[in-house]
Amino acid sequence: QVQLVESGGGLVQPGGSLRLSCAASGSTSDDLSVGWFRQSPGKEREWVTCITSLPPDTYYTDSVNGRFTISRDSAKHTVYLQMNGLNPENTASYYCGTKGGWRLCTRDVSDYGDWGQGTQVTVSA
C-alpha cells in the first residue's frame, strides 16, 4: 500500500504561483498513475490533472491547461503540481491519489485511492 502526503499549499494573491508536492512512501509508487483533485466546501472532489506511470503522459482539465504543470521525480517518489496564474476560482483543498493500470489516467475520482490528507490553496487579494 502507498501512503501519500501533500504539501505546498498556502495563501497567494491572484496571478501568483504555488508548487504542490505529493510524496509517496510504502509500496512501489512509480508503477502507478497519480492524479490531483480539488475540493471546495459543499462541492464534489473534481479532477484537475494526472500523470501516468513511466514513461509519463500528462493530462489536464481545460480550465488549468497551460497554467498548471504536473511532473514526477521517481528518485524522490514525488509528484509535483506547479500552478501559475492562480485565480480565486482555484481556491480549494488539493488532494493526490494513485491509480493502477499501466499508464492510465481517468477523470473519475472513484478510480483513485491512497488519498493523502490534502493541502489548502487559497487565492485571495
Q: What is the per-residue DSSP string for 78-107?
A: EEEEEE-S--GGG-EEEEEEEE-STT---S
> Torsion angle, CA of 29/76/112/102, rounded to 10 degrees?
-50
List the grid coordinates of 122. 487559497
Could you give the dihedral angle defined by the CA atoms of residues 106, 111, 116 and 119, in that order, rounded to the nearest 10 degrees? 40
44-55 pLDDT per residue, tens: 999 999 999 888
pLDDT digits (tens, 9 = 90+) for 31-88: 889 999 999 999 999 999 999 988 899 999 999 999 999 999 989 999 999 999 999 9
pLDDT at res. 28: 65
What is the pLDDT at residue 27?
65
DSSP 64: T
